[in-house]
Amino acid sequence: MTLTTLAPSPDDNDPIAQQLVAQVATMRTLLAQGLLNPAALGLAAPAHRPTLVPGERITVRDLATKTRLGLSEGTLRTYGTYLCFLADGWPAAAAPADKLYPGLGDRFADDVLAADLEEALRWVGRRAALGAHRRAEVRQHIGRHVLGSDGKGAEYNAVGAWRAMFRVAVKNRHLAKGFDPSQEIEKPQRLKGSRLPLEQAQMDQLWAVVENTGDDPELDALLCTTILVSGARREGLTNLTLGGVDLDECTILLIEKGMGRKKKVHQPVPDWLARDLHEFAEARGAVRPDDKVFRTRGTVAKAPKPITDRRLDYLFQRVQTSLPWADKKQVTAHVLRHHSVAVIQAASRSAVSQEFARHEPEGTHALYGRATPKEVARVVVQVYGGDHPWLHREDTD
The mean pLDDT values, 10 residues at a time, for the chain of 397 residues are 47 68 74 63 50 84 95 84 94 90 94 94 89 69 61 85 95 91 83 67 94 95 97 95 97 77 87 97 96 91 90 95 90 94 92 90 58 95 96 73
| Number of independent structural domains in the chain | 3
Q: Examine the domain organization and report whether 217 and 298 are in the same domain.
A: yes
- 3-state class (DSSP) for residue 348: coil
| 266 occurs within a structural domain | yes
Tell me, yes or no, whether 294 lies in a domain.
yes
Question: What is the spatial distance between Cα 375 and Cα 397, in angstroms, rounded to a whole number?
Answer: 8
User: What are the two backbone dihedrals, phi and then psi, of residue 217, each rounded to the nearest 5 degrees?
Assistant: -60, -35
Cβ(68)–Cβ(80) under 8 Å?
A: yes
Q: Is 65 found in the same domain as 42?
A: no
Residue 190 lies in a domain: no
* Same domain for 236 and 124: no
Residue 258 is assigned to a structural domain of this protein: yes
Residues 138 and 224 occupy one common structural domain: no
Among 184, 214, 245, which residue terminates a domain?
Answer: 184
Answer whether residue 192 is part of any domain. no
Q: Is residue 193 part of a domain?
A: no
What is the secondary structure of 13-51 as a DSSP string?
A: T-HHHHHHHHHHHHHHHHHHTT-S-TTTTT-PPPTT--S
CB 176 within 8 A of CB 53: yes
Question: Residue type for 108, please?
Answer: F
Strand partners, 306: 295
CA 212 and chain centroid, separation = 33
Quote the CA–CA distance of 236 and 73 in Å, as a whole number. 11
CB of 251 within 8 A of CB of 269?
yes
- Indicate whether 19 belongs to any domain: yes
CATH number at residue 370: 1.10.443.10
> Would you call 264 helix, strand, or coil by DSSP?
strand
In this structure, which long-range contacts are made by residues 264-268, counting pairs with CB atoms below 8 Å and at least 24 apart in sequence?
265/358, 266/373, 267/230, 267/231, 267/232, 267/358, 267/376, 268/373, 268/374, 268/376, 268/377, 268/380, 268/388, 268/390
- Domain stop point among 119, 149, 184: 184
223 and 369 both lie in a single domain: yes
Domain match, 100 and 142 both:
yes
Q: For residue 215, give Cα distances in angstroms to 208, 226, 379.
A: 14, 19, 34
Residues 328 and 354 grouped into a single domain: yes
Is position 365 within any domain?
yes
Whether residues 153 and 263 fall in one domain:
no
Instruction: Say what the pLDDT of residue 26 is.
Output: 79
Verify that 255 and 339 share a domain, yes or no.
yes
Do 161 and 213 reside in the same domain of the chain? no
Tell whether 143 and 8 lie within a shared domain: no
Angle at 150 between CA 144 and CA 154, to 5 degrees: 100
Q: Which residues contact 312 (CB under 8 A, 6 or more apart)?
A: 223, 234, 237, 332, 333
Q: Are residues 172 and 205 in the same domain?
A: no
Q: Give the C-alpha separation, 163 to 103, whole Å.
A: 16
Tell me the residue range of the domain where 122 lies.
60-184
